[in-house]
Amino acid sequence: MNFLAHAMGGFGKGEGGEGGGFGAFLPLILMFAIFYFLLIRPQQKKAKAHKQLLASIKKGDRVVSSGGLHGVVTGLTDEVVTMEIAPKIRVKVSRGSISGVAGHAQ
């Protein structure tokens, strides 16, 4: 029985089992920094670039919607973009669904 008491005797004396206050949070801080620089920050940059792209759309631009429709912008409102996908065929799509500008129509 004496060996059990001796084996359990190291726990409550503060020998190596407890870390400092800042040292315990260091892995969490490091993990958050990694997530921020690898996931959060690039996504924020991408969202900002997409918002600028949507603001810069004007009549005559060739655009691509997120559904894959290619067309020329013929009308704009705050929420809706009217695009001509074929001669005399126009569709209205949400402005947020525009995924890219392919250039200016000629």
- Summarised one tens digit per residue, pLDDT across range 53-100 is 999 999 999 999 999 999 999 999 999 999 999 999 999 999 999 999
pTM value > 0.75: no
Query: Edge-to-edge, what's the strand order for the sheet holding 98-104?
Result: 89-94, 80-86, 70-76, 61-65, 98-104
Q: What is the pLDDT of residues 17-28, one digit of tens each?
A: 555 678 888 999
Residues 6+ away with beta carbon under 8 Å from 89: none
Q: 59-106 in CATH: which number? A: 2.30.30
